[in-house]
Structure 1
Amino acid sequence: MRSRGSKRLADEPAGSTGTRDILVATDVKKIYKTGAESVEALRDLDLTIEAGEFLAVMGPSGSGKTTLLNCLSGLDDIDSGTVVVEGKDIHRMSDAKRSHDRAEHMGFIFQSFNLIPVFTSAENVELPLLLAGAKPAEARRRAEETLERVGLGHRKKHRPNELSGGEQQRVTIARALAGGPSIVWADEPTGNLDTETAGSIMDLLQELNNEGLTLVLVTHDPAIGSTAGKLIRMRDGAIESATDRPEE
């Protein structure tokens, strides 16, 4: 991860680290307008995310954490700058193309789970695959494989109201992973969970990252932030600091 305000690894020879940049954001600005008032939610922000990174984003409420996630993933528009994901400037795409690319390259994990109540675990995981054009049999196979991967193969026929909070979050993780994304965005994924359950979810995310998953996680919890390989702190729409976790 490289960002304005941290040591500029960009000065190193190209390819010297053997890493691949998945996302490069340059001079990103986001302004929210309410009547005559304007709030600069992101201020000329630079950030590079490399393949296989586990990046945590922290900062006080209103610092721009969730806005950063939404703008880098293309869920929200930006006012200026560029966000290049897998070599494509996502904010120069049409809404339809950006939505298609997001479904192809990204997964999302939300604090509130966002599961469809009348669907089983497997059906919730299948749905985005079907919307992306997968055949029903292939969607079912991938959903069941991914639920097994997150430890919920035995709960694939259960609906959300039959699952614990931790199990529901594992379904959302499976849903995020089933499409084989390049990067997964997690916005306060443990915010609705007790400490023990949150720990088990973070263990799973850490394990997935160790297997090569690129993960960007927004959190208020310093204990969660400390598990990431890299940590950025935001304040007033800008990156205040960027640090690597010391090697163990």
Structure 2
Amino acid sequence: MNTDRPLLVATGVRKVYRTGSVTVTALHDLDLVVRSGELVGVMGPSGSGKTTLLNCLSGLDDIDGGRVEIDGRDLFAMSDAARTEHRARTMGFVFQAFNLIPVFSAVENVELPLLLVGIRPHDARRRALAMLDRVGLTHRVEHRPSEMSGGEQQRVTIARALVGRPAVVWADEPTGNLDTVMADQVMDLLCELNRDESQTIVLVTHDSAIGARVPRLIRMRDGRLVDDLRQGPSGSRPVTDLSLG
């Protein structure tokens, strides 16, 4: 795994929610670096800012202060249209709710993001079939989501996230809707993709068993990073400086 080059550099990121006269700061001037090829878990209690962090770092939500660079490009210096296109071409997303199109087959769901960015249909289908094979679903390519188990649906979601060869995959509670056995299988797949293909993954989870499996674990509380640990067979050790990754 190549972790020498910073892929994500977030500096002083602040997110504020306003409802009438009530103001809530969800992220407090947060600094974070993620290097290419890392698998990073983000944990914390409900309301700690985990999903807000993911949404802000990926550009799904606007920020109220700071800077987010992905592969050297400042997300929030772009127009909304440019940021949307950049996200479609360089990022993949895996959500707890799968978000598959129910009337589409597995292969149609996976090829859709390629078609949306102008890949020729023949090439999109070929790449979608290859990615479904990579996640172990060759036998399910023509099945619709309702005909698959939860674990199989999440594998389709992972294939869809990866088919565009993204710089980073954002995974928000990817095992949250799965039983323990299926959750382990999905996590096995994510770890394998990270290890064998150096796929950069940032994963939000509330599950301590999932958090224990990632090489780097960030803990959040009240919109702040409170721990940043390297994990391995010999135990955990803190990252010296949260801002340096």
Shift of 1:246: 2.8
What's the CA shift for 1:147? 0.3
Gaps of at least 5 residues in structure 1 are: 1-16
Whether 1:240 and 2:226 are equivalent positions in the alignment is yes
For residues 172-230 of structure 1, the C-alpha deviation after alignment (integer angstroms, 9 at most, x for no partner) is 00000000001100000000000001001000000001020111100000000010000
Structure 2 residue runs of 5 or longer lacking an equivalent are 235-245
Q: How many residues align?
A: 232
Aligned to 2:176: 191
Q: 2:63 aligns with which of 54, 75, 78?
A: 78
Q: Does 1:153 align with 2:138?
A: yes
Q: Normalising by the residue count of structure 1, what TM-score does the alignment of the two structures yield?
A: 0.92
Q: Cα deviation per residue 1:114-139 (whole Å; 9 max; x = unaligned)? A: 00000000000111111111111111
> Residue 104 of structure 1: CA displacement?
1.0
The aligned counterpart of 2:38 is 53
Q: Secondary structure at the match of 1:114?
A: coil
> Is 2:158 aligned against 1:173?
yes
SS in 1 for 2:28: strand
Q: Which amino acid in the other structure matches residue 99 of structure 2? A: N
Report if aligned partners of 2:40, 2:202 keep a CA contact under 8 Å in 1.
yes
Paired residue for 2:120?
135
1:231 to 189, 198, 217: 217
Q: Deviations over 1:132-189 (max 9, x none)?
A: 1111111101100000000001111000000000000000000000000011000000
CA shift in 2, pair 1:220/1:20, >3 Å: same
Identity %: 62
Residue 28 of structure 2 contacts residue 224 of structure 2 at CA under 8 Å; is this kept in 1?
Answer: yes
Shift of 1:18: 6.6
Give the aligned CA root-mean-square deviation in angstroms. Answer: 1.0
* TM-superposition CA deviations, 1:52-91 (whole Å, max 9, x none): 1010000000000000000000000000100000110001
The aligned runs of 1:27-42 (5 Å cut-off) are 27-42=12-27
Q: How does 1:76-155 map to 2 (within 5 A)?
A: 76-155=61-140
